[in-house]
Amino acid sequence: MLDNHYIAMQPEYEEQLRWVGLEPGWHVLDAGCGSGSFLPLLTELVGSDGAVSAIDLAAESIRTVQKRAEQSGWPAPVSARVGPVHDLPYEDDSFDAVWCANTTMYLTDDQLRAALAEFRRVTRPGGLIAIKAYDGTTEQFQPSTPTLFIHAMEKRCRYGSQVDCGLLRVIELPKWLREAGLVDMRQKATLIVRFQPLDPATKQLMAGFLQGIHQQNQQLGVELPEKEARLWQKLADTDSPDHILHHPDFQYRVIESVFVARVPD
């Protein structure tokens, strides 16, 4: 799912990463690297004189990254290891920058606070910390009820879904970066819109989103108004010929943001 997510959003994602300001020769940490979707561009940006370290909690993801690094011929060397982003196994001032994409929503408030402290610890004075996340308050699948998705997300957060709480927290990340003692905060917000005709990767991603949301509603026992519950049942049936994915006016939109701040000198 993560690789497909990257493929479907690749133009905007790569533009966001290029905007951060990574420089040739830097040593960059990809914190929460997943299967390594951002590593090709990260290695391109730091070049042969730079290096990239990657860390992820999932051992399977790290095995994938290690295999890709061995076979890829990427411009910069990549080292990968298993570990949590809120307890990093690196020395102080090890990196020129930290890149953390689509990861903070999985962290509780305490874990996020600890992760930002760790990012600051392992980044040299004057180095950059970049957090990329999508703002759950802006997510829309149309044609449908405009408030359907944000309502369900808010409900799931109250029922204990950390991911949904994390997505609702994205708009507050500038405050979190400042409270972590970082300075010169800047952000780039990108409106991502996908509409007909959908390419296969995007269509598969949208279907997975809709099915996953409905399944989580059921698993958590989220109590929704009857009309909304029926709508979710219908949206989860992505094979139906009258599903919104086949509608000529189908549109998916979300705001993805990158927040960049500097470690004080």
The one-letter code for the residue type at 92 is D
The pLDDT tens digits for 86-112 are 999 999 999 999 999 999 999 999 999
Q: Are strands 95-101 and 123-142 parallel, antiparallel or unpaired?
A: parallel
Look at the chain and report how many structural domains it folds into.
1
Indicate if the pLDDT at residue 38 is higher than 50: yes
Q: What is the CATH number of the domain that holds 133?
A: 3.40.50.150
Quick one: 248 exposed, middle or buried, by C-beta within 10 A (0-12, 13-18, 19+)? exposed
Average pLDDT over residues 18-38: 97
What pLDDT is stored for residue 1 in this prediction? 44
Indicate if the pLDDT at residue 117 is higher than 80: yes
CB 33 within 8 A of CB 55: yes
Q: How many whole angstroms from its chain centre is CA 132? A: 6
The pLDDT tens digits for 180-221 are 999 999 999 999 999 999 999 899 999 999 999 999 999 989
- Binning pLDDT at 50, 70 and 90, where does residue 37 land? very high
The boundaries of the domain holding residue 182 are: 2-262
The radius of gyration computed from the CA coordinates of the chain, to the nearest angstrom, equals 19
What pLDDT is stored for residue 59 in this prediction? 97
Share of the chain above pLDDT 70, in %: 99
Structure tokens at 235: 């949206």
**Neighbour count for residue 208 (Cβ, 10 Å):** 14
Q: Provide the H-helix boundaries in the chain.
A: 2-19, 39-46, 59-72, 109-122, 148-158, 162-169, 173-179, 200-220, 226-236
Indicate if the pLDDT at residue 2 is higher than 70: no
Average pLDDT over residues 56-63: 96
Task: Classify the C-alpha dihedral 114-118-121-126 as positive or negative.
Answer: negative
Mean pLDDT of the chain: 95
The pLDDT tens digits for 130-186 are 999 999 999 999 998 888 999 999 999 999 999 999 999 999 999 999 999 999 999
The pLDDT tens digits for 243-261 are 999 999 999 999 999 999 9
How far is the C-alpha of 134 from the C-alpha of 9, rounded, in Å?
Answer: 12
Query: Cα angle vertex 180, ends 123, 160, to 5°?
Result: 110
The pLDDT tens digits for 169-184 are 999 999 999 999 999 9
- Binning pLDDT at 50, 70 and 90, where does residue 3 land? confident
What pLDDT is stored for residue 254 in this prediction? 95
